[in-house]
Structure 1
């Protein structure tokens, strides 16, 4: 039977709504939890507002059956798993965000069209990624299962948490490749006239390479057996990371959140990777 997570510290939390994307997310989360020897919590949310008593009861029963089936799927596939389930009432995104304060990782499907509660619609996934207190992994339903290696996008030293998260998963998923993309400064009314010869491209690339080595230094010392490669390129970070996702098991990006009079929102690189990557994407809150 499903239980409650209201008074426990969570390990890996996975949102589930019965859709194909949610099943893939469930399997990814279970593998991660087993590899790191933490508990997996499977949760769904049922928006019962405005429903009559009979419909609320029926919806709850279906939700509990869904979660019980999901937990049984995990136990059957992963003998060493420790898994619990929970059914929440209310807004799906708010339910997951509330739990993210006590989870070390949250896993979601990219979309849940056709699923039981619509828990994992794209707008919900984006909202959770933008506000979650812990790293969020978004798993696409059509992600390749035989890919290997972890790619992490590094914009600067503040992306250390993303690099640490990527290195931790790379021990299970393969080697680590850190990518830094940079663009030539553009000024004036005719940016197309800006020539690379106006800048010392080699010096810029060397400086950015030193920054990558600084971010990865401690990771290399702690993980001497882990292959760690660095790539510095002149290009657009979102496009370069999407290209890297085609043969990777996971792409990790920092959740650089813009603050101001409007609610927090993610930057263009994170949006591009979440929408177009061909493998699971982890969004790690930046320092």
Structure 2
């Protein structure tokens, strides 16, 4: 394994347990780190509570071998990329969150070896997304190879960090950026088609929401005029609309907002929906 550097440079962390989803996550993380010229940190977590001494030694040895093999494979594919592997012991989600303090992006598989068959999103990935302080990208074992373009969900002006993250990845992945905003009638939740024209002006609301989205993506257009950027504003369910928009995308980006109360859970219904049902990798970007 690579030696620990005295000065830690922010980079990409890949949580790795050898599962198919984790292998895809490692590949995505390596490409992202190489494209941005930042280090890649590969972290494997082993829960050893309740194991006897002999089994603890065996588990640690297997974990180190897994990290060493993964690190060697990445170095072979990406010459010059700084790769550092480490094994941590304890709770998987807590360990990854602690390791994420040295990263600007975390990448995890949607479900590891310990998940239930058929479960699209494991508890570890869900907890990491809920408590992270940096963007987290979640990948499943199956991802379309010909997908292109980045989709970002915009709920309001406060989602600008998610749009900036999406724009940076769109520049690296290619295919442009699409900003999607969905709105529904407050309180009633009814579709505009069910309302009397005198009760609700759909065109006015659509125009207002379109201006809001354009304000968010405006700085991106001005900074990178070569990046194709388009916006979609519609009445509907944000979760459903984003899942549909993810069908041909290479990455779907959503903002995670802090919640009030004793637990800093950041995942609302829209984020839950895309994490469980999106057709492409999902990036959860915490915003204040």
Residue aligning to 1:14: 14
In structure 2, the CA distance between the partners of 1:275 and 1:112, relative to structure 1 (3 Å rule), is same
Residue aligning to 1:33: 33
Report the alpha carbon displacement of residue 70 of structure 1 after superposing the two structures with TM. 0.6
In structure 2, the CA distance between the partners of 1:192 and 1:219, relative to structure 1 (3 Å rule), is closer
Report the alpha carbon displacement of residue 60 of structure 1 after superposing the two structures with TM. 0.7
Report the alpha carbon displacement of residue 230 of structure 1 after superposing the two structures with TM. 0.4
Q: d(CA) in 1 for partners of 2:51 and 2:184?
A: 53
Q: TM-score, normalised by structure 2?
A: 0.92
Are 1:252 and 1:281, in contact at CA under 8 Å, matched by a contact in 2? yes
In structure 2, the CA distance between the partners of 1:22 and 1:193, relative to structure 1 (3 Å rule), is closer
Report the alpha carbon displacement of residue 121 of structure 1 after superposing the two structures with TM. 6.9
Is residue 181 of structure 2 the alignment partner of residue 176 of structure 1? Answer: no
Q: d(CA) in 2 for partners of 1:191 and 1:65?
A: 56
In structure 2, the CA distance between the partners of 1:186 and 1:264, relative to structure 1 (3 Å rule), is closer
Is residue 42 of structure 2 the alignment partner of residue 42 of structure 1? Answer: yes
Question: SS of the residue aligned with 1:180?
Answer: strand
Residue aligning to 1:283: 284
Are 1:12 and 1:41, in contact at CA under 8 Å, matched by a contact in 2? yes
Output aligned runs, 1:218-233, within 5 Å.
Answer: 218-233=219-234
Output aligned runs, 1:229-240, within 5 Å.
Answer: 229-240=230-241
Are 1:2 and 1:67, in contact at CA under 8 Å, matched by a contact in 2? no
Residue aligning to 1:165: 165
Residue segments in structure 1 that go unaligned for 5+ positions in a row? none
In structure 2, the CA distance between the partners of 1:8 and 1:193, relative to structure 1 (3 Å rule), is closer
In structure 2, the CA distance between the partners of 1:265 and 1:217, relative to structure 1 (3 Å rule), is closer
Q: d(CA) in 2 for partners of 1:212 and 1:159?
A: 10
Q: d(CA) in 1 for partners of 2:186 and 2:57?
A: 60
Report the alpha carbon displacement of residue 265 of structure 1 after superposing the two structures with TM. 4.4
Report the alpha carbon displacement of residue 98 of structure 1 after superposing the two structures with TM. 0.7
